[in-house]
Structure formats: C-alpha cells, structure tokens
Amino acid sequence: MQLRYSFRLYPSAGQRMALARAFGCARVVYNDALRVRETARAEGLPFPKAGDLSKLLITEAKKTPERAWLGEVSAVVLQQSLRDLDSAYRNFFDGLKGKRPRMGAPRFKSRKDNRQAVRFTANARWKITTGGDLALPKIGNVRVKWSRDLPSTPSTVTVIKDAAGRYFCSFVVETEAGGVLPEVMPEVGIDLGLSHFAVLSDGTKIESPRFLRRAEKKLKRAQQALSRKAKGSNNRNKARLGVARAHARVADARREFHHQLSMKLIRENQAVAVEDLAVKGLARTRLAKSVHDAGWSAFVGMLEYKAARYGRTFVKIGRFEPTSQVCSQCGVKDGPKPLHVRVWTCGACGAVLDRDINAAVNVAKAAGLAVSACGARVRPGLVPAPREETGTHPKASRASGSQAGISVL
C-alpha cells in the first residue's frame, strides 16, 4: 500500500527565494497549458497532447525572451506541472462519466493561492544527504525536521508551502501491510455526532473537542486586525499570516486528535463499523460550522487506511440505514425522532434507549459485527403487573387487601 509521510522543512532566505521561483514557474507552465487547451476547445480543434505542450511551453518557450527565466528552475518541476494538469482533466472527465465523484473543470492558478507545491521525481536527482538534509536541484540542501524513519526509499518528493508560510516535504512510499496487530475480541460500531464526537456500541462516549469553537475569539481578533490594515501594505501581509497561523493551529490540533483516536480504536478492536454520513448535505444546514469543525470525513479516512494497514476489518454501512429509529433490543422500527430527543422509550418492548448508543449498536449490527446490545439500554422499562396483583380477591382479608393496594401503588 502507498503511504504519505510529511516532514517540516526549514529553508534559508536564499532557498525560500529559489522555492518561490520554482512555484512561480510551475504555475505559469500550468496556466499556459490550460489556456492552450481551452483555446483549442473553444475553436473546435483537437485536444493538445502533453508531449506537444511540453515542447511548445517548456522547450521552445525557454528560447524566447518572455519565458527565458523558465530555465532557472529544474525542468522536472515544469514537466510535473503538465502532469498535474492532465490529472485534473482526467478526474474531471471521469466525474462526468460517473467513474468518480463529480468535480469542477481545471482552473487557472494564482500566486495568491493558499497552497503552492512543486514535485521532484527521480529524474531530478534529488537525494537525502548523509547529514539528513534534502538536496533539491537548483535550490540546495534544505534542513528537514525528521520525526520518524521512512519505511522504504521514495521515488518522488513534493515540496509544499501552506498559507501560514510553513514549508513541508511530502514523500509517497510503497509499504507492505506489515506490522499486523495481534487479534483481539472486541468489535465496535461507531456513531459520529456533534454533542459527542463519537459514541461506541459498548456505551463509551467521546467528547467533541470543538477546536474551532474554542479558538473563535482568537480567530476573531486576528481577523479584525487584518481588516484594519491597508490593502497591499506590509502590515496587512503580516496580519494575513497571523490569521493563517491561527487556523493552522486549529487544523493541526484536530488532525492530531483524529490520529490518536483512530489509532486507539484500531488497536483495541478487531472490527470497526461506521455510517456513511452525508457531510455535504449537513454542511448546507445551520450546523455547517460544527460539522466542519468535527472533521468526520478525515477521521473515517484514517480509520479506513489504518484498518487496512494493521490487519483490521473496516465496514462502512449505507447512510440510509435507520440506525436512530430501530430499537436495538427488539428490532422494532419506532419512526424518526427530532434531534432534541436524546432518550426514547421503545413502544414494543418498553426499553429506555439512549439515542446515540442505540445508533452505534445498530451500526454494528448492520455491519454484521458480533456486538452486544446491552450498552444501548439506559434503564429497564416498566413491566406491567401480573393480573393477580392488579386488585384484591373478593374474599381476601383486610391485611392482604391493603398489601395488594400498596403493591399496585
């Protein structure tokens, strides 16, 4: 399987300038190729091939005064920019054919985009030096903060600059599904929510950290400081970086929480089941900010790839399963309920059920996992009294009648 490893880069001032030059050249080639193809489409001409674009926009363009500065960066970076455009078109057309989720047509890139990236392949002859630096062509040896070892030798490296001005190097490496964890007995269903981030079928409730909500005051002050700065000024650029860094801290904290929780669930359970949530639909409601703050899609993606890596079973059930409407004790469907109803009583068996735990148990059952539904019960329902205890016998004594009356009350 393929895994991505990212590490923080600390380029010097000169290396930052060289990286900015590489970002700009790759962006210009991408935009030139997109413009040529869109012009051909508008005029009804054949779709230009990548080889023709490479010759026209890189090889020949370097000989012109307008694009002579393309020779200041590695040619591999420019070639990979054309490949990125091919991938964007391929994904767009596959979406129209129904082979993948639909996405928009390729768009022009801007130097003001939040993310800038270039990719170096093995042809660029980049390497990791004996001192632990990343040697990049026409950029130099960049210092890397290594947090762990790479499982195998990567063939490509992507250098990324995010909105907060941080630099990262990203490696995609081929690894085997080794390191399989020892088998365990528990199997768990997970119900994702907002009041609690996750509720497990064994009754465990995991509170939602709400990283964005907790940082809203700081984000508000940073955004207000940005709005007061004159457009185009140096101070405005500093304030923009302040806003981006505040958002980056929130995103990093959320990602760390997702990694720790997903690894804990994979380590402690042999099988994990979740529900396929309609995040896009929920993001169009009044709960949009809370939905995005939770980051369900990223968490489910981590569960999926970690289960594959460590030999666990991962099951995703359909989003139309009535997990909140079915009693996990007797299986009777009791109908939809408004969100403010957190505890409800089954009309068939009388069990008093916690909405979230009941849904988690139903998720596990729908996935075919061997879980117990005992965690869904909050307290036993009222059991009707036997017929002989609902009144007194006509010939019963006064004492027995009074006792029977007390038992009824």
Rounded to an integer, what distance in angstroms lies between the CA atom of residue 247 and that of residue 218?
10
For residue 53, give the nearest of 29, 25, 26 by alpha carbon. Answer: 29
**Tokens linked to 160:** 């990324």
Q: How many CB atoms lie within 10 A of CB 102?
A: 11
Q: Which helix (H) or strand (E) holds 385?
A: none
Q: Can you say whether the dihedral through the CA atoms of 259, 7, 151, 80 is positive or negative?
A: positive
Please say whether the beta carbons of 32 and 78 come within 8 A: no
Residue with tokens 């630099």: 167
- Give the active site residues: 191, 275, 356
Other beta carbons within 10 angstroms of residue 90's beta carbon come to 12
Cβ proximity of 95 and 71 under 8 Å:
no
Question: Are 84 and 30 contacting, i.e. CB atoms less than 8 angstroms apart?
Answer: yes
Residues 6+ away with beta carbon under 8 Å from 277: 192, 296, 297, 300, 319
The string of DSSP letters for 58-87 reads IITGGGSGGGGGGGGS-HHHHHHHHHHHHH
The single-letter code of the amino acid at 274 is V
